[in-house]
């Protein structure tokens, strides 16, 4: 699986619609300081569901929307789409390509799309679990991330290995099952109370 295209509009310094095509293998993005290189990797992490504005070097999520320059007005919406290719085997799906889109408006309204159809963030997270693709995963390593991993607590570092080993999905399933169990136990308690009252 590889990142085939990135389409950005209204995101950070990319006011105009910009499309980047990538080839399999290594890609280097070069340019002068402040030209927007890190904004490209921010866009990839954002479309994959990054929820922490600070991880995107902003104070609030609205900061990802193009906020204008001396010559252009701020925009009201940011949208990023990525297309991943060679997905069939890696994601266990029937399509070869998957397109993920995230959109946010200044009003706060936002949405995620999977192959142009509205979906939940959860669907995207689930699709990429254990593949190494994701916001907390190792496929996008922003500046300082390697240092952070090396100096992290053993427990935190373990999550990187768990993702690579493919057990994140099972841990998520276990958490969900335990949550349902807790809910069912609470329902049973309530039922007990009702039965006792009726007796």
Q: Is 173 helix (H, G, I), strand (E, B) or coil?
A: helix
Quick one: which segment of 64-72, 84-92, 157-165, 183-191 binds ligand ATP (CB under 6 A)? 64-72
Q: Binder to ligand ATP among 12, 45, 102, 103 (CB under 6 A)?
A: 12
Q: Binder to ligand ATP among 5, 20, 22, 36 (CB under 6 A)?
A: 36
Asked if 35 is part of the footprint of ligand ATP (rule: CB under 6 A), the reply reads yes
Query: ∠ CA(24), CA(10), CA(43), 5° rounding?
Result: 35
Applying CB under 6 A, what is the total number of residues that bind ligand ATP? 14
Instruction: Tell me if 115 is assigned to a ligand binding site.
Output: no
Q: Binder to ligand ATP among 66, 79, 82, 129 (CB under 6 A)?
A: 66
Inter-residue contact 132 to 164 (CB < 8 Å):
yes
Q: Is 89 helix (H, G, I), strand (E, B) or coil?
A: helix
Instruction: Tell me if 38 is assigned to a ligand binding site.
Output: yes
Smallest gap from Cβ 38 to ligand ATP, in A, equals 3
12 or 131: CB nearest ligand ATP: 12
Q: Binder to ligand ATP among 31, 92, 108, 144 (CB under 6 A)?
A: 31
- For 81, the enclosing helix (H) or strand (E) is strand 77-85
Inter-residue contact 100 to 48 (CB < 8 Å):
yes
Asked if 62 is part of the footprint of ligand ATP (rule: CB under 6 A), the reply reads no
Query: Six-digit token pair at 18?
Result: 């910009």
Distance CA 82, CA 5 (A): 6
Distance CA 157, CA 69 (A): 40
Residues tagged in the binding site annotation for ATP:
32-39
Which residues contribute to the site for ligand ATP (CB under 6 A)? Answer: 12-13, 31, 33-39, 63, 65-67
């Amino acid at each position: 699986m590889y990142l085939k295209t990135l389409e950005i509009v209204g995101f950070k310094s990319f006011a105009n619609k910009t499309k980047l095509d990538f080839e399999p293998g290594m890609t280097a993005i070069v340019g002068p300081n402040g030209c927007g290189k890190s904004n490209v990797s921010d866009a990839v992490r954002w479309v994959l569901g990054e929820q922490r504005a600070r991880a995107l070097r902003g104070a609030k999520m609205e900061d990802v929307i193009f906020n204008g320059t001396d010559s252009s007005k701020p925009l009201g919406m940011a949208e990023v789409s990525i297309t991943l290719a060679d997905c069939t085997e890696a994601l266990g799906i029937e399509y070869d390509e998957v397109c993920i889109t995230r959109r946010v408006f200044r009003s706060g309204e936002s949405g995620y799309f999977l192959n142009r159809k509205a979906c939940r963030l959860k669907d995207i997270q689930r699709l990429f679990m254990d593949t190494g693709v994701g916001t907390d995963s190792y496929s996008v390593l922003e500046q300082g991330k390697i240092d952070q991993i090396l100096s992290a607590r053993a427990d935190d570092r373990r999550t990187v290995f768990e993702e690579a080993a493919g057990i994140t999905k099972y841990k998520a399933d276990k958490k969900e099952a335990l949550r349902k169990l807790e809910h069912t136990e609470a329902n049973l308690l309530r039922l007990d109370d009702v039965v006792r009252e009726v007796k």
